[in-house]
Amino acid sequence: MVLTDVATLSSARLVIAAILGIAILMVLIIKFKIPAMIAILVGAVLIGLGAGMSFGDIVKAVDDGVGNTLKGIALLVGLGSMFGSILEISGGAKTLAVRMVDKFGDRKAAWALAITGLVIAMPVFFDAGLVILIPLAFSLARRTGRSSLYYAIPLLAGLAVGHAFIPPTPGPVLVATMLGVDLGWVIIIGILCGIVSMVVAGPIWGAYCGKKYFIPVPDYFLDHPDKDDSKLPSFWTVALIILIPLGLIILKSIAGVWDVMAPARPVLGFLGEPFVALTIATLTAMILLGYKNGYTKEELEKVMTKSLEPVGLILLVTACGGVLRYILQYSGLGEVIGQAVSSASLPIVIVAFIVAVFVRISVGSATVAMTMAAGMIAAMPEVSGLSPVHLACVTAAIAGGATVCSHFNDSGFWLVKSLLGIDEKTTLKTWTIMETLVGATGFLCALVISLFV
């Protein structure tokens, strides 16, 4: 809906306002290091003023953007963060990695690390998952005499895929919320795109990097003795707990389209609501991984409360992304963009990817790239007519675009460089290309799927 008389404004004015607003937004983030939340909010308001929106309409867009965006994501991000923290401190993440490596053996350990990284990154933040699991990659490199990249790259690829494509990690959740798409379909499409991306950017690219660049195990790790893994929680317990939210959400989506499951739709519809599914998984993790592992109620409460610290920033950035979406929509710019896309005959999946790539390369933050791209795409009228599966493909395309080309302005670039003990040039040739393979492959998979739906 376009408010007041702004719909009568010329398309040229709307486009110029948007270009200037987004340019100022980028300058604030890149040049002046203004926090993304403030920069996006300032940019959105400037777009509204430049487009000729009244003060009242701008205020309404801000209120609607914050309220409508957070009501669908706040609980999910908070619950997902607490769920991940329990998995982290209990040793559940390491349980999966150790068991998978034992099962696959040293020769195929790279595949085990890639799969484990993918699974772990869904409930656990990328940084935490990397810090937990990288010692295992180093242990394998020390034992086999291979370059540490042979094992680290597959692990990183799995973590990147799980972090970017598959809920309940915050990125795809916030995009799905802004686009109004069922999380069940986002999970299904995310898994399909993610598996292909993981294979290409993980074991395949990792094998090449391992042969091309011999990177020894860092000195700081060589001084650390191997830890006792005998007290880790059961593999099947951890696997079951992780599958609870994914399974319930997917069952809800399947029941909605499969008539055979019609009698169970009310129950599955409730249990498959993302906040219900995550609540059940979090409570189960508290009991089976927390209390049964010797954590007191006070200790568990402290860990879960601390896990919410980074959530505030994520939610605020996401809320401001919602403001940008509603400014674009209420100003009429979303319709202008939609008409331009239609006349150019570009599939919306491609447009979503390109927008996310532009922001990712400029700003560095995958979360900001997803937020801004989702806001711009959601403002386009064409989105409302897309099927749930097509919208899930658009979500995957945005996630892919927000993953490519990690470089000097991305904190992940420096974390990987530091942990692996490599220089900037090698990081660009290995990690940056790996991230680009993850994003581009995921996007191509989403594009192919979208052509058939």
Q: Rounded distance, CA 102 to CA 1, Å?
A: 57
* Residue 359: CA count within 13 A, CB half-sphere: 30
Predicted pLDDT at 365? 82
Mean of the pLDDT values across residues 274-293?
Answer: 93
Say if residues 197 and 437 touch (Cβ distance below 8 Å).
Answer: yes
142-192 pLDDT tens trace: 889 999 999 999 999 999 999 999 998 888 998 999 999 999 999 999 999
Is the pLDDT reported for residue 210 higher than 70?
Answer: yes
Q: Rounded distance, CA 358 to CA 302, Å?
A: 39
Give the other-Cβ count within 10 Å of 91's Cβ. 19
Mean of the pLDDT values across residues 110-118?
Answer: 94
The DSSP string of 191-225 is HHHHHHHHHIIIIIHHHHHHHH---PPPHHHHTSP
Say if residues 252 and 269 touch (Cβ distance below 8 Å).
Answer: yes
Say if residues 390 and 194 touch (Cβ distance below 8 Å).
Answer: no
Mean of the pLDDT values across residues 264-273?
Answer: 92
Mean of the pLDDT values across residues 24-29?
Answer: 87
DSSP run (H or E) holding 91? none
Q: Rounded distance, CA 217 to CA 35, Å?
A: 36
Whole-model pTM? 0.85
Is the pLDDT reported for residue 354 higher than 90?
Answer: yes
Token pair, residue 282, equals 């979090």
Virtual CA dihedral for 208, 157, 309, 399, nearest 10 degrees? 130
Q: Which residue did the predictor score with more confidence, 129 or 228?
A: 129
